[in-house]
Amino acid sequence: MKIKPSIYATGLSAFINLLLVYAVYFVCRLVYGFENWSVLGETMSSDGVWNILKGGCLFDTSAIMYTNSLYMILMLVPCHLKEWKGWQKFTKGVFLVVNSLAISLNLADAVYFQYTGRRTTATIFSEFSNEGNLGGVIGVEFLNHWYLVLIAIVLIVGLAKLYVSPREVVKIKSMVGYYAVQLLFLALFAPLCIGGMRGGLTKAVRPITISNANQYVDRPEDGALVLNTPFSLIRTIGKNVFVVPNYFEEEKLVQIYSPVHAVSDTTDLKKKNVVVLIVESFGREYIGAYNDYEGYTPFLDSLISNSLTWEYSYGNGRKSIDGMPSVLSSIPMFVEPFFLTPASVNNVSGLARELNKKGYYSAFFHGAENGSMGFQAFARSTGFQDYFGRTEYNQDSRFQGDADFDGMWAIWDEPFLQYYALTMNTFKEPFFSSVFTASSHHPYKIPKEYEEVYPEEDLVIHKCVRYTDHALKRFFETVSKEPWYQNTLFVITADHHNLSMIPEYQTSLGTFGVPIVFFDPSGELPVGKWEGIAQQIDIMPTVLGYLGYDQPYVAFGCDLLNTPAEETWAVNYLNGIYQYVKGDYLIQFDGKELKAVYRFKEDVLLKNNLINQVDCSALLDELKAIIQSYMERMNTNGLVL
């Protein structure tokens, strides 16, 4: 499509093409919403849709200005050469390349949302920098979501077909008039571009960030629908993740909250072994012991009946990379995964380092390629003395090596947990070890010999959960025969939740639901489902408290065994919103304003916002103190004493 030759042709065609890009972003947003309708669509109202579209236009403008600024300069530069066919072919190529990439990112992120609950940010490049299997993962998703690939092709071809090109200007009667018009177009575009990138033109407007999406939605998960992926990537490249808010003076801050655990020195240390199992994607939704339906984990259900767990329990992140710091070092995920921030090079403690001080041997196990997900680096930085991965597994002649590799991520759970169990037999007591499983994960496959044993069910992950539950059963059968078993505290949790079909687990709070289980075969630990709230970052202080650890340390959670139920709490972060759960209430806070208050126990779907009916100022102060303390310690290398 071409515009007739005139001195206005290039400017008009450029602005028309930008309108085409807006239309493409609009379609991508619709697809994103429909792809994740079970989470984003069921509570949508007409007002909510309008606010999302209004906010989406703001963020789309920013992304479009960032990505198309070079194109617009090529089209608007005051130069007669720009009408030449060669120039216009190059300019069209720039336009199609950058906007085809934007289309691909937006549609691909519609799939990734089900795992993270948010738009992808720049840390994705660091998160998967050590993975060599991304081609296979992407290939699987291309096949599973072929319709998204088709939509992307249609949109890209549509852009190419509908692209408006100016015809070459052969004769120009007035060169002065020509350059005056070109300069006018450029002068009009410059402030529009700057204002679009920033999200406004006035001095009072600061450049918009991801968190600004929350002013257009009532639920933090809906913020992903307001945003677009190019904006989320661009606005998080090289940004300072941890900004310290000045909510309180230092003296007041410490009075409200401190992560420093100063323990009594009157208790004798129990030289119990500690084994922490971080089970991939084992959300509470799948576990019958936490719900009023059967579930998919008969073995874990039976273990829970002889263990200590809590009525409410939550993760502190939505990714595997969030689980390890939360569980083993009591560091929640705020803003971005801790692994991927500058604070990851700080001095970091954890269960391994603290127990090493008491003569414990420590080791971490993960059946993936050594170095995968940054687990090996984090294990070493937090004091684990040894690391056992796929390399070490392959060197053990008792097992089949890469014949047990799942073809995508790691060694299958059943053989790797057997390797874990038998390797622990060689450890000198007392020891602390942890394993991160892998099989209950995308691409949701199980070993061929179990495909008929555990057939497809409601969700593709359910058969994987059943297989991993079987692997856990075999693990406990093996270790229960060992002499060190009776002198061991076992902790079972998940790194995060995963695919969901139960509405209660699709809310901004429910999506963080994970099991937290303490099992002591000796019978010294109480058994039952206690009242109160547990979270992953409570595991470290609870274990140390149970053992009678007598040194001060930094942990953001609390000792569940020595904290009254009414004082237990949980915190997590989603799409620019901090969530704080305590007592009967869930509050949501964007760092500046309280956004919502829910009675989460009775209002499980979080439909009734009580922000104007309930005074939660005390809870808000506690949350602010947690945030401020966290940010200060991240910036001042204050994670160890």
Q: Which of 603, 536, 540 is nearest to 569 (CA)?
A: 536
> Which whole-number Å values give the CA distances from 251 to 88, 194, 619, in the listed order?
64, 42, 18
More confident residue, 236 or 448: 448
Start-end of H helices in 199-243: 223-226, 229-234
CB-count exposure of residue 11 (10 Å: 0-12, 13-18, 19+)? buried
Q: What pLDDT is stored for residue 204 in this prediction? A: 47
Mean pLDDT of 249-253: 95
More confident residue, 144 or 344: 144
Give start-end residues of each CATH 3.40.720.10 domain in the chain.
Answer: 271-573
Percent of the chain with pLDDT over 70: 91
Residues 6+ apart with CB under 8 A from 285: 291, 497, 500, 501, 502, 504, 505, 510, 513
- State in words which class domain 271-573 has: alpha beta
3-state helix, strand, coil in the chain (%, to 5): 50, 15, 35
* Residue owning tokens 């529009």: 192
pLDDT tens readout for residues 294-326? 999 999 999 999 999 999 999 999 988 899 999
Residues 6+ apart with CB under 8 A from 55: 213, 215, 216, 217, 226
Angle of helix 460-479 relative to helix 413-424, nearest 10 degrees, comes to 20
Residue pair 328/540 in contact by the 8 Å Cβ criterion: yes
Peptide bond into 430 cis (omega under 30): yes
Q: Which residues pair with 381 in a beta bridge?
A: none
Region of residue 385 (phi > 0: left; psi between -120 and 50: alpha; otherwise: beta)? alpha
Which backbone phi and psi does 366 adopt, to 5 degrees? Answer: -155, 125
Q: What average pLDDT does the structure give for the chain?
A: 89
Percent of the chain with pLDDT over 90: 65
Count of beta carbons in the 10 Å neighbourhood of residue 632: 16
How far is Cα 254 from Cα 248, in angstroms, rounded to an integer? 9
How far is Cα 61 from Cα 383, in angstroms, rounded to an integer? 47
Q: Which two tokens stand for residue 39?
A: 């989470």
Q: How far is CA 114 from the centre of its chain?
A: 10
Question: Can you spell out the DSSP letters for 72-112?
Answer: HHHHHSS-GGGGSHHHHHHHHHHHHHHHHHHHHHHHHHHHH
Q: What pLDDT is stored for residue 510 in this prediction? A: 96
How far is Cα 334 from Cα 344, in angstroms, rounded to an integer? 13
Res 169 pLDDT > 60: no
Res 178 pLDDT > 90: no
Residue pair 256/625 in contact by the 8 Å Cβ criterion: yes
pLDDT tens readout for residues 447-459? 999 999 999 999 9
CB-count exposure of residue 526 (10 Å: 0-12, 13-18, 19+)? exposed
How far is Cα 293 from Cα 579, in angstroms, rounded to an integer? 27
b/e map of 207-230 (b: 16 or more CB within 10 Å)? ebebbbbbbbbbbbbbbbbbbbbb
Mean pLDDT of 99-127: 83
Provide the sign of the torsion angle of the four alpha carbons 295, 296, 302, 303, taken in this order. negative
pLDDT tens readout for residues 357-382? 999 999 999 999 888 878 888 898 89
Q: Which two tokens stand for residue 253?
A: 């801050």
Sheet order of strands, 361-366 included: 386-388, 361-366, 431-436, 273-279, 488-494, 516-519, 308-314, 528-535
First to last CA, the chain: 67
Residue pair 117/158 in contact by the 8 Å Cβ criterion: no
How far is Cα 617 from Cα 448, in angstroms, rounded to an integer? 55
Res 226 pLDDT > 60: yes
Q: Half-sphere exposure (CA, 13 Å, Cβ side) for 583?
A: 11
How far is Cα 221 from Cα 48, in angstroms, rounded to an integer? 13
Res 115 pLDDT > 80: no
pLDDT tens readout for residues 181-212? 778 878 888 888 888 888 877 654 567 777 67
Residues 6+ apart with CB under 8 A from 79: 182
pLDDT tens readout for residues 513-571? 999 999 999 999 999 999 999 999 999 999 999 999 999 999 999 999 999 999 999 99
Provide the sign of the torsion angle of the four alpha carbons 287, 332, 110, 440, taken in this order. negative
Q: What pLDDT is stored for residue 3 in this prediction? A: 54
Count of beta carbons in the 10 Å neighbourhood of residue 347: 13
Instruction: Enter the pTM of the model.
Output: 0.78
Q: Which of 17, 35, 290 is nearest to 146 (CA)?
A: 35
Peptide bond into 443 cis (omega under 30): yes
Q: How far is CA 38 from the centre of its chain?
A: 19
Q: What pLDDT is stored for residue 125 in this prediction? A: 64
Q: Which two tokens stand for residue 11?
A: 């400017």
